[in-house]
Structure formats: C-alpha cells, structure tokens
Structure 1
Amino acid sequence: MSGSTRDPTPLGRAVIVLLWIYAAAEVIFFILEFMRLAALGQAESDMGANLYFQTYGADAEVLLGLFSILYLLTYAMAGIVTLKWIYRINLNAKALAPDKQVSPVWAVGWYFIPFASLFMPFKAMRETWQISRSPDTWREEPVPALLRWWWGLYIASSSISLASSRLDMAAATVGDMALASLLTLLATPLTLALCLVLMRIVRRISETQTAKLPGATSSAEIVALAEVSG
C-alpha cells in the first residue's frame, strides 16, 4: 500500500462545514434575487437595462452586486476544499486498487475539460465509491442511486446557473433580466439539494475509506510525528 495514503476524515469535515456555509449564502442570494425580480416587475418588459437601473433597480442591483462578491468567495472556498478531498479519496482508492482507471490528478482535472466534464468526474467518483467499499472486488460493487442523484443535480444546477449568468451579462431589456433571475431562482433548490447529497457522499466515503486504510497516516499521527521530530 502506498505511503501517501491519508485519513480523508478531516478534509471531509471541512468540506461539510464549507458546504453548509455555501448553502446559507445560496439562500441569502435567493432572497436578494427575489427582491431583484420584484423590482423588475415594476418596469415594462421592453424597457432598456440602463433606464431600469436609473429608474427602479439601483438599490436592488447594488445590494445584489455586493453580496455576489461574498457568495463567490464561499463558492470558491467550498469548491477548492471539495476538489482537494476528491483528490485525497482518489489517491487512497488508487492505493487500495492499483487497477483503478481514473488517476487522482485526473479525478480533479476532468472537471475543467469541456465535454469530458459531463461524465468523467462521475466515473472517478463511482470507481472511488466502489473501491472504498470493496477493494478486491470493486468492479462488482453496485453503484448507489445516491451517486446518480449527485451527478444529475450537479449537471442540472451548473447548466441552469451558467445559462442564467450568460443571459444576465448579455441582457439588454428588463425582460431579459427577469428571465435570468427566474433561472437563478430555479437553480437554487437544485443547488441546495446538491449540497445535501454531496455531504452524505463525503461522510460515507470518508467513513468507508478510514475503515479500509489501517496503514494510512491519520491527521493525529501526523501531528504526533511532527512533535517527536521537532
């Protein structure tokens, strides 16, 4: 077994905390977006965006813009730590089953490759789930509906959020802006469900890997070794 294996539990706990923070930010963003939609409802749908800002929407847009900065920070923090956890569990899975097809690096890298990002990250997570439960016979291990829910929610929420963002940036009229807001409101419940499903996956994979990695270096052991060597 590779000496690079590590207990994924501490990272998993960090992921769950950050997902809760991100979910809270998502709820606040939903409320602000609803306020924006209410302001948009006061204007004619064919009114130009610039005239709308001057007449109706200055307060709502400023408030939404300021919170968007905090929202993006929580998204980035949750995303970075989640990807770090994904790398860690895939590294552990590769140590448990060297015939694992998706490497730890590509388990993260595929998220940033167009088209392949639609299915390869799911394959990496599926392999890791199977190996974590049954390293010796992992190919026969069934794939739970939980993983399919996670990936379906991820694709749906990401696609709707991307469409909303692009429409909002290109909006020329109040009608365009209202449609972008409606898409954002639609994406929110999907994103919240995604967070909850991902939290469950993080817990279950972290627990099963911890049980299957008796030789792994836990976070507590790392601290103890550092104290002794110091």
Structure 2
Amino acid sequence: MLAAYIVLTLATVGVMLYGLQLLQQGIDGGTNPTLQDALAGAGRLQLNLFRLQWLLTLACYAWAGCWIYRVACNVRALGAKGLDDSPGWAVGWYAVPVMNLVRPMRALAQIWLGTLAPARWQKLPTPRLLAAWWGCWIAGNLSYWFLARYVQMAHTFRGLHTQQLLLLAGQLLNVAAAVLFLLLVTRLTRMQLQEHERQQAMPAASGRSLADAFVA
C-alpha cells in the first residue's frame, strides 16, 4: 500500500512539473488558446490524482495504525517495560492536536528501542531513521497547512506558479516521508521477528514465556 502511494505521488509530481512548465510559458509569453487548453487538461489530471492520493492516504493511515498497535503490543511481549504510552495511545496521539507534533514520534521511538534492547532501551539514543521520517512527515503536513491558511487563490500565471511550487514541495516531502516510513516498517518488523526468534531459541524458563503473546 505504501509502495502504491509512493508511485501515485511520483506520478502526481510529474504532472505538477508539466504544469509548472506550462505556467512558465504563460509568464514568458502570455496566454493563448493552445496554452489554456493544455493548462486545463493538466489541471483536471492533477485534481483527479489528488483525489486518488487522498483515498490511498486514508487507507495507508488505517493500515499504519494497525501496524503501530501491533508492534506496540509485540515490544511488551518481548519484555520491554516502562514505555510511556499504551498500544492504544501510540496510535491515538496522531489525532490529538498539538500533542501529535511530539508524542507519536516518542511512542514509536520507544517501540524501536524496546525491540532493539528490551532490558536497557532507556539508555539508547533515538534512531536517525525515525528522526528523518518524522521531520519529513511534520514538514509535509505543515506545508499544506500553511498553503491552505495563508496563501490566497491566485488568478495570474505568476501566482499560480508560486502556488504550484509550494504544492510540489509538499508532495516531495510526502514522498520522502513515505519512503522512510516504508524502511521503518520493514526494519522494525524484521527486528521484532529476530528478537522473538532469539528469545524462543533460549532455554525455556519456568512459567509462561514473555514472547508467547507476540504477533507475527
């Protein structure tokens, strides 16, 4: 699903770059019927791609929420203790204004570190992959918020060109965030499976194993 989102966003970026070329032609040489038709066609295609992208984004949010909940449960089954957020809140913080700028990242960082070293995760630094993903995620969302709140609808070639550049920057940040999150999902899932296998290979202790509740 993430791969499909990345491909769709790259296609959207391509259409936006084409639109920027058309707008630049309008800035340099003025309007004409051929240019207007080309801009109208590019605009319709871009709008349809935005709609598809929005639907796929919602699907990715739902899937990512399920995955975060699962890895949050798994890290506890692997023996990590003292995590600040429950599995439910590891997902729920994304919907809380202001707090969603910090708490989701902290929750996922603790899940990663608790998987890496369940007994001493508090002493480990935040992985750079998570910091890079979160930076792109926040920057992409803030760019759209800024555009919607402070940039008025333009009616000139130059104004439309500026708006298109801002939209393009947000799209590129979204691509970067999606690629980094895909790497994060792949690595963290692999880490949890490896830690589970390591614990299962250890001599069985009396009582129920910590990893018995692990969800593959």
Question: By the TM > 0.5 criterion, same fold?
Answer: yes
Contact 1:164/1:181, CA 8 A, preserved across alignment:
no
Q: Contact 2:75 / 2:111 at 8 angstroms: preserved in 1?
A: yes
Identity %: 27
Q: Which amino acid aligns with 1:80?
A: A
- Secondary structure at the aligned position of 1:60 is classed as helix
- SS of the aligned residue for 1:215 comes to helix
Q: Do 1:94 and 1:104's aligned partners in 2 also have CA atoms closer than 8 Å?
A: no
Q: Quote the Cα distance in structure 2 between the aligned partners of 1:217 and 1:132.
A: 12
How far does residue 66 in structure 1 lie from its aligned partner after superposition?
A: 1.8
| TM value normalised by structure 1 | 0.74
1:217 CA displacement: 5.4
Q: Which residue of 2 aligns with 1:70?
A: 52
Structure 2 partner of 1:36 = 19
1:134-213 to structure 2, matched below 5 A, reads: 134-166=117-149, 170-174=152-156, 175-213=158-196
Counterpart residue number, 2:2: 19
1:129: Cα distance to partner? 0.7
Whole-Å separation in 2 of the counterparts to 1:60 and 1:196: 26
User: Partner of 1:83 in structure 2?
Assistant: 65
The one of 203, 212, 216 equivalent to 1:215 is 212
Q: Which residue of 1 aligns with 2:95?
A: 112
Question: Could you list the per-position Cα deviations for residues 187-215 of structure 1 after superposition, in whole angstroms to 9, with x for gaps in the alignment?
Answer: 33333222222222112211222233442
Q: Which amino acid aligns with 2:46?
A: L
Offset from partner CA, 1:168-191 (integer Å, 9 cap, x none) = 7x4042343322210122233333
Write out per-residue CA displacement over residues 17-47 of structure 1, whole angstroms, 9 at most, x where no aligned residue: x1111110111100111222233334469x9
How far is the alpha carbon of 1:108 from its aligned partner? Answer: 1.2
For the Cα contact (< 8 Å) 2:74–2:214, is it kept in 1? no
How many Å separate the matches in 1 of 2:134 and 2:215? 29
Number of residue equivalences: 195
Aligned alpha-carbon RMSD (Å): 2.7
Instruction: State the secondary structure of the residue aligned to 1:41.
Output: helix
* Offset of residue 118 of structure 1: 1.0
Q: Which letter does structure 2 place at the counterpart of 1:25?
A: L
